[in-house]
Amino acid sequence: MLEAYKSNTYDLFVYTEDDIVLTDTNVLHWLEYNAEMEAIGAENFFPSFARIEYSSRLEDWCLTEIMSPLSTATHPCIFLPRYGNQIALFSLTDAHQAMFIYNRRHMEEYIHSEKFLLEKCAPLQNINHPTWGGGGVCEASAFGISLHNIPTPFHSRNLLPVFLNTGLPHPAFLVHHATDRFANDPGHLKSNQIMQKL
């Protein structure tokens, strides 16, 4: 990525683990929402994705990282004028999404942060862990700058768009974790339970 950035050939940089299904729709909506965030001066943030898996036990889609419902009363969020009060972009307590999309400004910040250094992103002594491939190094690097220079009172710089009238996450900001390895574990929210009912 450093070589790609220095080449001045690319405007967008995408990192994803190999079991994440990332679509054209995901990328196009990221570009749209990122531009809207920059237009209101919220350039310190960027659109976030939420990982989902299909649960054969529940016969429904579940969220892998969001373990409790979101609320405009208790979770920091912003609104974009273009969408009125129909959509809130929520700061997630767990910002892990196993991937990121950055524009050149985000990528420049990432390159100049200590999180871009391999030895700073996870304990390297675990890289040859016998049962955990990579020892968590790639998982840690997937956070990028999500947890770097977070504006108060937000939990991270990732903001997930959610429709307030339906209580559903914006489908363009859901990415499928293709292994579906966690969905049958207890405690996961269905994707349609992301908003706290008032």
Give one DSSP letter per residue of 49-115, joined into a string.
-EEEEEETTTTEEEESS--S-B-TTTS-EE--GGGTTSEEEEEPSS---SEEEEEHHHHHHHHTSGG
pTM listed for this prediction: 0.90
Domain contains 85: yes
Model confidence pLDDT, tens digit, residues 58-117: 899 999 998 889 998 889 999 999 998 899 999 988 888 999 999 999 999 999 988 788
At 13 the three-state DSSP class reads strand
Q: Which domain holds residue 17?
A: 2-103+157-193
Mean of pLDDT over the chain: 90
| CA dist., res. 192 & res. 42, Å (int) | 27
What was the pLDDT predicted at 133?
A: 65
Q: Give the residue-averaged pLDDT of 150-167.
A: 94
70 CB neighbour count, 10 Å cutoff: 22
Phi then psi for 76, rounded to 5 degrees?
Answer: -60, 140
Mean pLDDT of 6-10: 96
Residue 48 domain-assigned (yes or no):
yes
- Structure confidence by residue, pLDDT tens digits, 75-92: 999 999 999 889 999 998
List residues bridging with 70 in a β-sheet: 195
Region 130-143: mean pLDDT is 72
Indicate the number of domains in the chain.
1
